Structure 1
Amino acid sequence: MEIEKLSPYVRVAIDSILDPSWTLEERVIWDYELLYLMEGELLVTVEDEVLHGQAGDFFFFKPGQRHAIRIVGESRIRQPHIHFDLTERPDSREVGVSFKPLAQMNAKERGWFRENELNDRLYFIPTRFRPADPLPLEKSLFEVIREFAAKPPFYELRLKSAMLAILAHIMREHYWGSAMKSGGQLERLSEVRAYLDDNAHRGVQLDELAERFHVSKFHLIHLFKKGFQMTPIQYHQKIRIEKAKTMIQYTYLSIQEIADQLGYSTIHAFSRAFKANAGCSPSGYRDATSG
């Protein structure tokens, strides 16, 4: 999958409230569906595997994947959900939402199946997952539903951006969850990153991080590289240089003043760090990005 070319097309986005008599017979869909079980309980059968869904669970159905849904108990079900293509295609507006098994589809309908591009290990999204913090995902999901219903000016752009936020959130959490085997590592990693972000205005040493977060330097480097493919100090240097780029391009501060605000001991130390990360000197970057 060429992730930089993703441009999602939202086919349906709705907040469904269902009574206990509702069922979804086995079907296959042409696109992707993200379903959030906000209230109630479901039995979801996916390719003959039965999953017991409870409030807070998300389900992700892929193109061509057989699935059926049945309500458990007598409580109402609330399941906001979205049908979408990963990338808008010439026939995206023609294709609807399937409620048929494969055997009942005609030749044209069988040609509507999208390729499942989320089988790669890096981008894989499981059929059922439960986020550690569902609120950001829930917020983006309801943004899509509101935009789809109201269709204000330029809603298509908001739909695409919100869908990209949803996909990034799910993929990142699944990647971190797979990489962090021991309990508490993801939380610790998030705390370290937040600390580095909050201290972009000064230098931070590995000893300081190890003492603050009660972990050995070796383990901290190992953990951080799993999550971000770089060491904590490399990450910190990167965000400091990104902040410097913004200041160089969008303020009239001198290079010396920028170096001082970012906590570099000398302008020469700042220039060396900037060139190592950006490939040019701070003054060269200002010349290249000005007017």
Structure 2
Amino acid sequence: MKKISFEAVSPEFLRVNSCGRQLLGKQDYHCSRPYGRIDYHLLYLRCGRCHIKTAERELVIEAGDLAFFYPGEMQDYRFLGKDRTVSCYVHFTGSGCERLLERLFPKGRRFYHIGLDQAIDEVFNRLLFEYYSKKKQYETVCAACLMAFLALAARYCENRSAQGSGDLLMEESCKWMQLNYQKKISICEAAAQCGLSVSRYAHRFKLAFGITPIQYLHTIRIEQAKEMLRSTDCGIAEVAELVGWPDANYFSRIFKKYTGLSPYHFAKATIEK
């Protein structure tokens, strides 16, 4: 396939062509672009899952994952309504894109796990505000916001790589919880997945990450709940069930313990902002 000239797309170093946050409803959504786009496409998941088909394989990315589609590359991805996905996207171009991505993500991969982080959220929200308000110099500010987003993403990738626990079995257990947090899973089940007793599993997990398996599972669920309360119109009981807590009262107690606010007051504060 002929390589696209980035300079022909935009003479600027970095330019945001469009951006947004998609709150996928109960209907499935499928995007198919056999010849890709003329610009770069960044996809970052805040909640849910995205099923992606590339020329080499099929994979599923989840909350906290970042995907890049380069100009001219096939795009084939699907959101399932049952996953209630919240997806952030940016289409961008410029003469400096290739060099910038090579410097920040030297391994050249298309998929990364950067996690869920308030600093990244704030930068992306600022990008959306600038792009849609279109105040003076908004294009320059948008480019700066995107560069900050990419730099933070690269930093978190490096930190996660450097801070690996060294216990691959426990890291696989974390991934299993990330995949199954919406279900009514237990620590007994998590231990069984690893072929360990509950006491041995809990000891190894805390040794690897400094927190208990329950604390880790709660953190995943709370982060997902925060995003749903911030970005969707789901009620508290519905959010509780979607993140794996069918008891809304128990969910509210745990949520307040971790955030200092009840789900109701958290959602209200988000709206007031």
Q: TM-score, with normalisation over the residues of structure 2?
A: 0.48
Structure 1 or 2: larger helix share?
Answer: 2
Considering only CA atoms, is the larger Rg found in Structure 1 or Structure 2? 1
Q: TM-score, with normalisation over the residues of structure 1?
A: 0.46
